[in-house]
Amino acid sequence: MTSAFSPKKLNALNTRERQQATIAQFNAAMDAQDTATAIDIANYVVSDDDLSNHAFSRGWQLHCLKWLIIHHMNEWRNSEDNSEHEDKSIHALLDGLWKLKWIIGILPQDIGETRQDFDEAIEFMQHVYEDFEFSTAMVDKAQLDIAMLTGDAEAARKYFAQWQAADKDDMNDCEACEQSTLIDYYHFIGDYQRAAELAAPIISGEMTCGEVPHITYPSIINSLIQIGKFNEAQAVLQDAVDLITKSSEHFLWLIPQLIQLSVRLENREQAEELLDEFSHDIVEAAQNNHFHYLQYLIAVAPFNEEALEAARNLARDFDERNGNQYYQNQLDLMFVTPVLH
């Protein structure tokens, strides 16, 4: 069956409308048993571009990805051995399993997803990874990512140890991404000195990939601030601003954190310039991503009372789900100035 899906009209919609349209079209395809169209819509929702741009909510992306994985697994199992159909099915299946580790690790960005949803997602990942005899490393890392996004230090320590002890295989991240996660972890648990030490090969450019150093900058810069290396933090922040603002829109979601760091380093002029240039695009891009909208509100909070109140409310929503005050504390830090030398 030929797919009836065409992305042209969807690409012209704003972010919120695009999600609503894909949900409606996917459901219609399922009702009509139009598998070809359902596959194209699901692939559109979990494409590499949309994973970077955050055009869709994490819960919707996971729903589509799980459906694709189950579909391609059934197709592969029912394929004739050594056939073209078998090769195509296993290729699509492995692509889905690669994306699964990313989507599940950032599922807590969606305020609509519960702790039970996280557990069920991990259980699904464990099951399919076991089926293919993959190492538990990426399952452990996904649980580490969930722990850090939910502000759970005890769980983070547990899953970090398991991730480090697990065997590596073809599902592991690249060397630069693994280094980035190490830095994020030590930053998260408050070992800022260790995080700063691990940042050296990334700052120097020795370790890079398509997303590193971009995604690593916030943890590096804040670690430098926390250990009192303010001049170095200022220099790395400027490198981050130069790189990310000149990069594609895939990294737009990082700008609110750079604004927060500019405020922390008392560079309010730079913070306001970034807000003036990127606020509209950031808000539009974050329509379906509560976490990135929260980071934007936290960035704006020192400049706007309404944003401060909105940030308090959304941070409280995240913390109530997560069972702590992690994001409310993050907001409070915006109003604590480090002692600069």
Distance CA 65, CA 57 (A): 12
The per-residue pLDDT for 341 is: 47
- Give how far Cα 16 sits from Cα of 101, 257, 280, 339, Å: 25, 23, 14, 42
- Give how far Cα 302 sits from Cα of 255, 269, 309, 331, 336, Å: 16, 13, 11, 10, 11
CB 107 within 8 A of CB 146: yes
Predicted confidence band of residue 6 (pLDDT cuts 50, 70, 90): confident
User: How far from chain centre, in Å, is Cα 151?
Assistant: 15
Predicted confidence band of residue 115 (pLDDT cuts 50, 70, 90): very high
The greatest distance separating any two alpha carbons of the chain, rounded to the nearest whole angstrom, comes to 69
Predicted confidence band of residue 336 (pLDDT cuts 50, 70, 90): confident
- Give how far Cα 145 sits from Cα of 39, 65, 212, 252, Å: 28, 19, 17, 21
Q: What are phi and psi of 82, to 5 degrees?
A: 65, 20
Mean of pLDDT values over 311-327:
98
Say what percent of the chain tops pLDDT 70.
96
Q: Which token pair is 320? A: 């109530």
Distance CA 271, CA 213 (A): 20
- Give how far Cα 112 sits from Cα of 14, 45, 52, 86, 212, Å: 20, 18, 20, 37, 29
When the pLDDT of each residue in the chain is averaged and rounded to a whole number, the result is 94
Q: Which of 186, 261, 178 is nearest to 218 (CA)?
A: 261
The per-residue pLDDT for 249 is: 84
CB count in 10 Å sphere of residue 1:
9
Mean of pLDDT values over 239-263:
94
Mean of pLDDT values over 161-181:
97
CB 76 within 8 A of CB 87: no
DSSP string across 247-260: S-GGGGGGHHHHHH
Higher pLDDT, 230 or 9: 230
Tell me the Ramachandran region of residue 38: left when phi exceeds 0, alpha when psi lies from -120 to 50, beta otherwise: alpha
pLDDT tens figures, 191-209: 999 999 999 999 999 999 9
Q: Which token pair is 108? A: 């807590």
For 113-166, where are the alpha helices, taking DSSP H only?
A: 115-131, 137-149, 153-165
340 pLDDT above the threshold of 60? no
The per-residue pLDDT for 49 is: 66
